[in-house]
Structure 1
Amino acid sequence: MSEIPANTRPLEGPAPRLKAPAGATDCHIHLYLPGYEAQPGGPKIPELATVEDYRKLQQWLSLERVVVTQPNAYQRDNRALLAALEQLGPDTARGVAAVTPDTPDRDLQAWHDRGIRGARIMNLPGGAVTHADMLAVEKRIRPLGWHLMVQFNGCQLNDYIDNLQRLESEYIIDHIGKFMPPVPADDARVDDILRLLDRGNAWFKICAGYEASLTSAPEYADVGAIARRVIAHAPERIIWGTNWPHVGVSRDNYPSDADQLDVLLDWATPEQQQKILVDNPARLYGF
């Protein structure tokens, strides 16, 4: 077993300008624990990112609740995710796992009992479970009341929209739609996202604008225009996440975690911020 270096990413800094309300929830992080190796098909793990590390980040940003997402590095091996949820505790943490059409019912129920509430569908390089299995996975998780967390390049939305419309369960359109490259806010594909939200079972996550934006931080003006339009249209269907620990980003371009929270000052009103950070995730994740 190889030795993965300890975290060297910044876990503290100047306080965010946005004072997070009580119950604020980070709906998208990844954790990399000692003793768990990257699996074939996924990226390498450059550094650990432990529960202890994340708790320092929570304190920095004044966040109280968290949703841990299965990282691509672990592929379909959810053991580290389950171990992290046990450390974090059921009062303040939930998880999103890699689920396949063949995952046994007994495993799904056991994972539910340990805090899993969603299944990840990743249609970008390194994804463990992709759109090809999405409808089959959705049938498996539907009895448990879980949701799907779906990530794709929004510019290719036309390749996915028919099956998204077939979903009966709740699902999240991840990473601000992840339009690569960003499109104008009045693009027809953004119109389509609004129509998906109007159907009542889609959610939209404000997360990792830096991954798609071609404009400078911390404003991310190009993806910010998309975010503002979607937030204004359906503030009751929006959640937010840091995407910590920002794997795959060089240290020279490493984003400020305070800035990832502060985008909401420019993209959402105080009333919308309360919904995005507290009320909406509490409803979706059962906090």
Structure 2
Amino acid sequence: MSEARAAPVLRVPNSAADTVPRSTTPAHACDAHLHIYDPRFQAIAPTVEHATVADYRRVQALLGTRRAVIVQPRTYGTDNSATLDAIAQLGATTTRGIAVLHPDVTDDTLQKLDAGGIRGVRFSLYTHANAAVGFDMVETLARRIAELGWHLQLHWTADQFVAHRDLLLRLPTPLVFDHMARLPLPGGIAHPAFALVSELLARGNSWLKLSGAYLDSIVGEAGRYADIDPVARAWVRAAPERLVWGSDWPHFTEPDHKPDDSLLFDLLTHWTGDDAVRHRILVDNPARLYGFAND
């Protein structure tokens, strides 16, 4: 794999990184999972301060990524104003967004969101805390957005995926599984959710994000998240053409110690071991999923 020598850099907000990544960054590389928390917009749940577009531009400078996908956080409920504003700030040609909505959203609002760069709807249900949506809304909303060509992005537990197998198999929209489908350790790919998600990926209408290595790791950053390696590599073997990578910046679930974003970026090199596969995950796959132009 191509690697560049690490060099000192200035600290970036909400990150422990103090050097640039060792891995080189291909042109048009996409960070397919990040959140913006802007104090100009009214929050309805606890938020992270100073996680603005200006802050994220420093993350992009660190990683060398150009394209971005902003995922609506729980903080703003179903008011997607902050996410739309962030898309506009970063640039509509290189940025997309994932909204949070209720099934009663109007057709006019859906059209405005689509014009503003929204390409999917997220159901973050791995915990009930501050959840703005519920499982009872999934199928109805999927049918509302199907004509737009949007997808459903699912941050559920592995057990929740298995419990809702029948629902997942009949949904009319593409699916995107957050954070490696949250397979719990030490079982990892032995969990039945791995087989279920693999089946959905094989159908060619679903995707998975290689992101959030710290969410289920037991050894943590001190162990370079090595216990996640078998899970990530299993996904790379199973469906390299259906994977995207995301930073999960600003790492809201890690309030006491922010992860090293350079390390998180280098993990993709570690997991793939192949420049062509890595390029596919960083550039080609997100271009297909989110509709970025091949410029």
Structure 2 counterpart of 1:54: 56
Structure 1, unaligned runs of 5 or more: 1-6
Structure 2 counterpart of 1:27: 32
From 269, 272, 276, the equivalent of 1:271 is 276
Deviations along 1:181-236, one digit per CA (max 9) or x if unpaired, are 45232443312221111112111111111011112326323322111111111100
* Aligned partner of residue 259 in structure 2, secondary structure: coil
Give yes or no for contact 2:32–2:69 (8 Å, CA) kept in 1.
Answer: yes
Structure 2, unaligned runs of 5 or more: 1-11
* Aligned partner of residue 189 in structure 2, secondary structure: coil
RMSD: 1.7
For normalisation by structure 2, the TM-score amounts to: 0.89
Structure 2 counterpart of 1:4: none
Give yes or no for contact 1:182–1:223 (8 Å, CA) kept in 2.
Answer: no
Give yes or no for contact 2:20–2:62 (8 Å, CA) kept in 1.
Answer: yes
Structure 2 counterpart of 1:64: 66
Tell me which stretches of 4 or more aligned residues in structure 1 moved more than 4 Å.
none
- 1:1-287 superposed matches below 5 A: 8-10=13-15, 13-39=18-44, 42=45, 44-125=46-127, 126-217=130-221, 219-251=224-256, 253-268=257-272, 269-287=274-292
Aligned length: 277
* Aligned partner of residue 185 in structure 1, secondary structure: helix
User: Within 2, Cα distance between the matches of 1:144 and 1:135?
Assistant: 15
Give yes or no for contact 1:175–1:205 (8 Å, CA) kept in 2.
Answer: yes
Give yes or no for contact 1:11–1:53 (8 Å, CA) kept in 2.
Answer: no
Between the aligned residues of both structures, percent identity stands at: 38
* Aligned partner of residue 121 in structure 1, secondary structure: strand
| CA shift for structure 1 position 176 | 0.7
Deviations along 1:162-190, one digit per CA (max 9) or x if unpaired, are 11111121110111111244523244331
For normalisation by structure 1, the TM-score amounts to: 0.91
Give yes or no for contact 2:37–2:48 (8 Å, CA) kept in 1.
Answer: no
Question: Would the alpha carbon gap of residues 219 and 111 (structure 1) be closer, same or farther in structure 2, given more than 3 Å must change?
Answer: same
Deviations along 1:8-59, one digit per CA (max 9) or x if unpaired, are 53486311011111110000100011321221xx3x1131211111011101
